[in-house]
Amino acid sequence: DGGITQSPKYLFRKEGQNVTLSCEQNLNHDAMYWYRQDPGQGLRLIYYSQIVNDFQKGDIAEGYSVSREKKESFPLTVTSAQKNPTAFYLCATSRGGRETQYFGPGTRLLVL
């Protein structure tokens, strides 16, 4: 079964905690992306990676960190420095930088 999986579907975080959102793909795509979606706003790019062991900041990287140790995996850590982390987080992949992006099912993060 090919595709992109994100886990968990819902995640609750206490203030001051770091949490890590998982994104795994078996599409053999080189590029992976993390987006944040807030009500009434377009998706905003947090981080992206075009190749293993390399990643770049997007438009709203502050308070987030990522790693790309394997082609299949691109976990996103929401740190305590992110002051407004409640949002819907979407992971996407593509064959290359300007190719069609395929999206995972998303993780909804709520801060308690």
Partner 1 sequence: KNEVEQSPQNLTAQEGEFITINCSYSVGISALHWLQQHPGGGIVSLFMLSSGKKKHGRLIATINIQEKHSSLHITASHPRDSAVYICAVIGDKLIFGTGTRLQVFP
Interface with partner 1 by CB under 8 A: which residues? 40-45, 88, 90, 92, 98, 100-106, 108
CB of residue 38 to partner 1, shortest distance in Å: 10
Considering the complex, state which of residue 48 and residue 82 has its C-beta at the smaller distance from partner 1. Answer: 48
CB of residue 74 to partner 1, shortest distance in Å: 16
CB of residue 15 to partner 1, shortest distance in Å: 24
Given the structure tokens 């990522």, which residue do they identify?
66
Considering the complex, state which of residue 85 and residue 104 has its C-beta at the smaller distance from partner 1. Answer: 104
Full DSSP string of 43-57: -EEEEEEEETTEEEE
CB of residue 16 to partner 1, shortest distance in Å: 26
Measure Cα distances from 40 to 2, 55, 87 in Å.
Answer: 31, 28, 12
What b-and-e string marks burial along 78-87, b requiring 16 or more CB atoms within 10 Å of the CB?
beeebeebeb
Name every residue whose Cβ is closer than 8 Å to that of residue 30 and which is 6 or more positions away in sequence: 50, 51, 71, 94, 95, 96
Considering the complex, state which of residue 45 and residue 52 has its C-beta at the smaller distance from partner 1. Answer: 45
Considering the complex, state which of residue 63 and residue 106 has its C-beta at the smaller distance from partner 1. Answer: 106
